[in-house]
Structures are given as C-alpha cells and as structure tokens.
Structure 1
C-alpha cells in the first residue's frame, strides 16, 4: 500500500478513535457527588413500647376464623385482565367493610373496573388512608395444586402456607389487616385512628382509572395524616426491605408502517423487493437503536438525564446503608445473570438502579415468525417499550423528548402510542409515619433495609402528589410467587423460620395503628 493510500486510512482510524473517546467523556449520564459516608441506622429508631394484650389474645382465640377470612378472599376470583369475578370481589370487600362498622362505604364506578371507598370514624385525632388492590393476575398452567382459587393450606418447607392466587399479592396481607381491625373493635369497641379505605380493581392493569376511584372523596382524603399499604415484606429469615417510594414509568408502543415515506403500505410483499422497497421493520429497529449507545446501556435522547433529582443527603445515608449490606452475587444468582452492566457492584450499582432512567424493549414483532421459510418484506413492525422515571423526570417530558429525538433523527414516520404513564413517588424516612413503622419492626426484632424507593413502578403518586400525603407500603409477613405459579403466604412458620406468621402479622398491625396514633 502506498503512503498516499495509507494516510486517508490512518486519518479515518484516528477520527473513529476520537469519536469513541469523546463519547466516553461526554456521556449524558450524570455523576453524582457524594457528600456523606454516614449510614442510616434503622435499628436506632426506638422500638414501639406499647402492648395490647387483650387484643393480642383475641387474635389468638380467633385465628382459625381469621385464616378462613383469608381463604374466603382468595376463593373469590378477581382477574382484572379477564374481567373475571371483579365486581363480585368489589362487593365482597364492600360488605366486609360494612360488617366491621365502616359507616360510609361506596362502590365507585369508573370507565374500567369499580373501586371501593370506606370511612371508619373513630372520633380519633389522627386519620390514616389505607390503600388496597383487590385484583389478581391470570393463572399459569403449572401449579402444584389443582385449583389456585381453592384457598388450600399446604405444608411447605417454611411451614403451613396459604397457596392461592392473591395469597400474598395482595389479598392475604390486606385481609390480615382487616382481621386486626376486627380484633381491635371487638375488644375495645373502636380504633385508635380514623380510617379511610381506598381500593381499586385495576392495579394489575397499571391503575388506569385510580384517579376516578379517589375523585369522589379527594378533598376529604387530603385531610388525612398519611397513607399505608399493608404488604408482606419479610424474607424467610425475618429480614425486611422497606421501600419509601417507586420510580415513575412511561409505557408505549412504537410502530413503523409503510406509507408515503416508503415501504409497502397495504400488506407484506416478496422479500426480493428489498432492493427497491424500504423496510418498516429495519426503520423501527434503527429508530430504537438511535435512542441508546450501541451497547444499549446509556440513553442518548437529549436532556433525558437532566431533570433527574440528585441524591439528597438523607438518600445518600440510605444508599450507604444498602451498599454496606449489598450482596450483588446473590442478586445475580436470583436473576440468573452473570454480572451487572460493566461489572458494577455495591454503591455504584445501587445508585444506577435507583437514580438512572431506563429505556427497555419489552417486546418486538414483525413479519413471519413461524416454522420454516417465508421470504417477505413486512409492511409493519411494532415494539412495546417502557422507561422507568426517577424523581424529577416527568412522563410528559419523557414523551416529548422521545418524540423530538425521533423527529430530529429523521424518524418522523415512527408512531408513538402512549399506553401508561405516571410520575415517581417518594416519602422521607423522617416522616412520622415511616418512623412509627420502623419502631414497630424494631419491637419485633426485625432487621430492616430502607431504600429511598423501589426501582419498579406503581401509581403511588396519587397519594404523595394528588393527595399530598406521606405514603409507606410494608408490614410483617412473608410470601412469594406473585405473578407466578404456587403463590403463597406463610400462615404458621416452621421452627427456625424468622418471618412472622399470621398471628404476629395481625398483632403488628395493631401496634402500627397505635404507633401511628401516638407518633404522627
């Protein structure tokens, strides 16, 4: 090769290398300055010192009846995706609230499945909103029991469990909470706090109409002191993970169709025509690829990271505690992945998981996917995409930036169909509601990991933003298999199992309500 030919090649190589170097140094992902090495110590919160022996004794005496209430709930089908038993379950919940003495109970019609509102006036100084979801996921075919709606008690390596759809997600812990109310009212005649119950039947669908559920009582609910979601959060060894919020989300479809821009507009055509005809499938793939770096791990949509709120000093202390106890290898084994991106671990991985927005392809389809060979050029391609949004990044802004990026890069023909979207929610660990819950956990000797929020999403902004309330979700108890076969909730732990059984779960809810009454 002559020098005259070699020089352009060298210059091109240098240009490529410089572009890679610039990309590494100009990453849009922010680097957060860490201002403290202090570690939040949940165990330092004073343990709740109250005791309510008469109520505890009533729970013990009525435990068989309380188990039967859980079984009654899970036996009522309520698959929201299939509209299977939904209205019957709403009626069952409403009837149970009336039986407990809730003076006002309404079944609220929405454009989708109904909600339920209830009000118990204890004449107390403090008022708590209790969130419930009464819908469940569809059934998978490979359960170890014949009927996931039979509400069977099954012997398990952890002890006696209630194995059923909805056992732990979320009918079991919610009915356990109502059992605790029943024992308190039967023993003392009232409750230590006033209660609103706000229940929906579309949580498993993304809560598209939850705003309509709370709308009739919105102004009343805003006068409450906090909101609580009863939930099993213990692992079998008795440890608990308390998350103080959730990321937001946008979930949408991206679609490329043939049309004026090119590509077949009515139906697939022969694959040999690719020499002459644009491919909607390839356009969609390229549009998706344009939104991240080539490895798929950094979003390059302009401005996407800019609005994310940097970790506060309080959140840094929580993250430091999480990092101190982190076991990345165990989590990787649980998810059957060999490593985190780039070999991250410890605090770096936690910060990335909590404070980074994501861009994820949930599904992608186009053309022929059957057996054998069929050479076609499809006229349409579709993808389902989600992006998790940390506090600060709003859904409307995310959609706007995605659309602007596509248009700026020549993908004007790509259609975006929003399917769901809501912002993040978070509550301070210093909120009296959270402190009261941690105090009860400490009474029961529970080692608790506290996270600023969960990397997953739920529409809890309706409490923190719409109603302006501190919101916490958690409680003693263990279950597993949500959205999967053999879902269960632990009822009677075997010897050596650290997680609470039903009796202690209900007693802890008694303590939580009293702690909230005393500590708001």
Structure 2
C-alpha cells in the first residue's frame, strides 16, 4: 500500500469517526499483525488479481474456457501457497484439487467455483469482463464484473489472506484442502466425481469441515450464518411434433392451426399441471411426501433472522410490494425456508423477433428449476416429475436434466460453525443464523454420504447482482459497519486462527 493510499484510508476513517483499526483487528494470534499489514500492503495486487480472473470467464453451458479456467484455478492455488494442485477430470468441466500442509494439527477444507453465468454486455453499464471500479452511493467503491460477487470476489479475498501469510513469512495455523469446480452454475452435474476420488476424499476426511467464501454481510453490518441450503434441479421440458406424433415436425403456417395440433399448447397444458390454481403450490404427484417440516429450533432461528432484518429494504431490493398471499414477513420467511418450488425460468418457441410471424411452431421448450428441501432428493424429484407427466398423457415430453443436487444441512454445534461464530464474535460483527438458504449450492456433496462433513458459507463484505447485469463487490467501504476487500481477507485469516484454536 502506498503512503498516499494509507494516509487517505486513515483520513476517511477519522472523518467518519471510525477508529483507524477496524473492530475485527483485535485478536493477538502469533504473527497476525504481520499478516494484517501484508493484506493492506498487497491491496492493489489483490484487486488486480480479481480483475485478471474476471477477464477469463468459464461458462459451463456454453463450452467457454473449460480447460483454461481449470488451469487458471490451479495456478491461483499454487501462487497462494498450496504445495500441490492438479486439474481433475470430472466427466464434464474439470475440477481442481489442491493441498497445503502447514504441519498443523487441524485441517479445514475450502470449496471454490470458478465458473460464472453468461452475460449480455449491452445490459451492463460497464463491460462485464473489465472489472471497473465505480462509486456506489452509501456503500463505497465497488468492482463491476461477471463473477465479482459470485464467486470470484470472495474467493480472491480468501486467497489474499493466504498470500499475506506467505508474504509476511508467517506459518499458516491450519492445513488446507481446496476443491474447486467449473459447473456450479449448471447444477454441479459431475462434481461428485471430483470429491470421491480416493486422494481427494482422504484429504477431505481429515478436515473439520468445508466452507465456501461468501460476502454475507447486510448493509447494517449483520452476517447471517447459513446452516443449510435448498437443493436444486435444472431441467428442460421439450415438446415437439416429432416426439409427440401429433402436430408438425417443423414450423408451418399458422392458418393450419384449425386442423393441426400445436406442440406449444401441448407443453403449456403440461406445465399447468405442475402447480395448483394459485400458480404457486407444486402439484406434482407425491411432491410433498418426504418434505420435512421445520423444527422448533429452525423456526426460532428464522424468527431471530427476521427480527434483525429490514422488510422494506428486502422488498425494495427485490422490486416487489407484497409477499405471496400478502403474508407477513415472518410467515413469508418460514415459507421461503420450508417450501419446495416449481419455477419456470424461461419459455422458448417459434418466432420471438420484432413484429409478428404467422407460424405454428413444431417445437417448444421450457426451462425450469425445482428447489428441494430436506428430506427430498434429486433422484426422487426427477422420477416423480416424469411419472406425473406420463400419467396425464404427456409422456412424450422430453425431460432433460442438465444438473442439480439434493438439499444440504449442517448441525449448528459442529466445530466448523462454532469457529465461524467465534470469528465473528471476536470481530464484533453482529450475526444471526439462518436455518436454510433459499438459494442453492452443492454442499450435499460434502454433508451427504460418503463424507458426512460439516459445510457452510462464510465471510463478510458486500456485493450483489449475481446472475444479473452490473454484478458488484464492495472494495473500499465508506460504511463503518461493512467490510471492504482488505477486511474480508483479514476475517478469513482470523477464521483460520480460530479453526486452529478449536483443535488445541
């Protein structure tokens, strides 16, 4: 960090009435002060590292940079101090496995995803692969770029902590295992083939748990620790005259609709059977058969999370004015955590350009995602979807599963979660615990058999726009309650010290 930058940072904090050293710079672990100093000194290099990573997007569903992304991930791991890192064939987009042996008593695993969602540059205010730094009112300076928050930004913050240990000549307090994949954005269809390889599994089994770096801080500074996440299945339903045996096998003139069946209406009729009349409640046969109700403790955690949240801010960020059925915030939050869903992501058929075109399409496709809660499984859900359609005369509709996994859950008393709590408490960062995220990540690969590990998401800092235009990550915070990029890295360093302390 240059002298002018250090002076500017100090001036900004003093002007805001904030101590020059953030609250989370308190613990006195061996070598920590040197590590924190190195994090700040390396700020510009860390920002540039994230910017360079953003420039190389791996997009699984478009076959973009599969091998290049894996090799780049491998290089990032080696540069951060992992002694060995290799690309692992998965049967799809490759994964990466790396280990760092610090000779410590305790080992913790970290999960990375190096793939991103696709993007439409015309929808962005700055180029999505540029990594431009811009002002965000009320927040500070943020980086705009695809992958900035999901998930390259927080992962780069974790790597920054490792670089700082190395630069400061301070030994890591724990051993590390890294597993990374390039298919998370399409439902991790092959990631299990990475973690079940003998050497990968053996390394993971030595760990107290696995976490994914995540900027989970609200604008008021609160961090919500996730104890679980819904599962997800991404699926395409395809109706065609060719498979149906009715309707055209290609687009024909719409005047023929009077005496020719429509594959598009066939698909719409099928879709309509998947939900009840409210357009919300799943109606697939047996869909709720294995849905496990929320426990009293989970309801307690959700209520505490709601009490610490701002309903108006949540609605504003979502662009909504009402929850489903006009439910109150707490009831809607219970529903969010407990209910499986059937969602239409997109419908594609026929002509979609300017004006009209009088065709009767020969094919129609719907893209769906199905969110699952314990004790549902991916395999069960797919089987029930197919059986439901077949029973109603829609067995000709192709069900193409592009990816997905079952839900995940971790005990709040696990050593991993306790270390996360202790780290935030020492940093004086307010926290709640979330019983279950409505979003999904492939944590079940770790929490399910054969590994049966604790797994969660952890971190501070802020970001937004995942999967959307102008995705952003907070770099320099002007809000004393939220962590900037450097402070995110400091928190990860403290977390490693906390995991080590748990094993003493």
TM-score by length of 2: 0.85
Instruction: Tell me: CA distance 1:336–1:188, structure 2 relative to 1, closer, same or farther (3 Å).
Output: same
Cα distance in structure 2, aligned partners of 1:184 and 1:381: 55
Render the CA deviation track for 1:107-158: whole Å, top value 9, x for unaligned: 223333322211111122211111112223334224333x443444434433
d(CA) in 1 for partners of 2:352 and 2:39? 57
1:22-101 counterparts in 2 under 5 A? 50-51=28-29, 52-101=32-81
- Asked if the contact 1:251/1:384 (under 8 Å) is kept, the reply is yes
Q: Assess if the C-alpha contact under 8 Å between 2:59 and 2:116 holds in 1.
A: yes
Cα distance in structure 1, aligned partners of 2:281 and 2:64: 41
When the two chains are superposed, the root-mean-square deviation of aligned CA atoms in Å is: 2.7
1:447 lines up with 2:427 in the alignment: no
Helix, strand or coil: the match of 1:128?
strand
Q: Which of the residues 430, 453, 462 maps onto 1:469?
A: 453
Distance 1:62 1:372, change over 3 A: closer
* Counterpart-to-counterpart distance in 2, 1:76 and 1:277: 48
- 1:83 CA drift (Å): 4.3
Secondary structure of the equivalent of 1:238? coil
Q: Distance in 1 between matches of 2:260 and 2:143?
A: 58
Partner of 1:479: 463
SS in structure 1 of the partner of residue 331 of structure 2: helix
How much does 1:80 deviate? 4.1
Aligned to 1:9: none
C-alpha contact 1:268 1:377 (8 A) present in aligned 2: yes
Return the alpha-carbon distance in structure 2 between the equivalents of residues 277 and 88 of structure 1.
49
Q: Which moved more, 1:438-447 or 1:82-91?
A: 82-91
**Distance of 1:290 and 1:502 partners within structure 2:** 47
Shift of 1:437: 0.9
Distance 1:489 1:55, change over 3 A: same
Question: In the alignment, does 2:109 pair up with 1:129?
Answer: yes
CA distance in 1: counterparts of 2:406 and 2:316, whole angstroms: 31
Structure 1 consecutive aligned stretches of length 4 or more whose deviation exceeds 6 Å: none
- Work out whether residues 149 and 464 of structure 2, in 8 Å CA contact, stay in contact via their aligned partners in 1: yes
Q: Tell me, yes or no, if structure 1 residue 149 matches structure 2 residue 129.
A: yes
TM-score, normalised by the number of residues in structure 1: 0.83
- Cα distance in 2, alignment partners of residues 451 and 265 from structure 1: 50
Partner of 2:342: 359
* C-alpha spacing 1:264/1:100, structure 2 compared with 1 (3 Å): closer
Distance 2:260 2:60 in 1: 43
Find the counterpart in structure 2 of residue 203 from structure 1.
184
Distance, in Å, in 1 between the alignment partners of 2:122 and 2:401 is 31
Cα distance, 1:189–1:95 mapped onto 2, change above 3 Å: same
Contact map agreement 1:326 1:346 (CA 8 A) in 2:
no
Q: Deviations over 1:171-196 (max 9, x none)?
A: 22212212212222444542111101
Q: Does 1:181 align with 2:165?
A: no
The alpha-carbon deviation at position 293 of structure 1 amounts to 1.6
* Structure-2 residue corresponding to 1:410: 393
**Equivalent pair of 1:328/1:345 in contact (CA under 8 Å):** no
Find the partner of 1:349 among 332, 337, 351: 332
109, 114, 121: which is aligned to 2:89? 109
**C-alpha distance after superposition, 1:448-494 (max 9, x if no partner):** 23211211222221111142111111201122233333333222222
Query: Gaps spanning 5+ residues in structure 2: where?
Result: 1-24
User: 1:28 maps to what in 2?
Assistant: none
* Structure ID, larger Rg: 1
2:250 to 258, 267, 287: 267
Q: Choose from 254, 272, 289 the match for 1:306.
A: 289
Distance 1:474 1:390 in 2: 21
Provide, for residues 410-434 of structure 1, a one-character-per-residue CA deviation record: whole Å limited to 9, x for no partner. Answer: 3333332222231001112222211
The counterpart of 2:204, out of the listed 209, 221, 243, is 221
Aligned to 2:143: 162
- Would you say 1:431 and 2:414 are equivalent positions? yes
- How far the C-alpha of 1:304 sits from its partner, in A, is 0.9
- Any idea what SS the aligned residue of 2:439 has? strand
Structure 1 contact 305–356 (Cα < 8 Å) conserved: no
Q: Deviations over 1:391-444 (max 9, x none)?
A: 111122112222222232233333322222310011122222112112211222
Query: Contact 1:236 / 1:498 at 8 angstroms: preserved in 2?
Result: yes
Residues 257-281 of structure 1 show CA distances to partners (whole Å, capped at 9, x for unaligned) of 3369763243344545444443332
- Residue 172 of structure 2 corresponds to 191
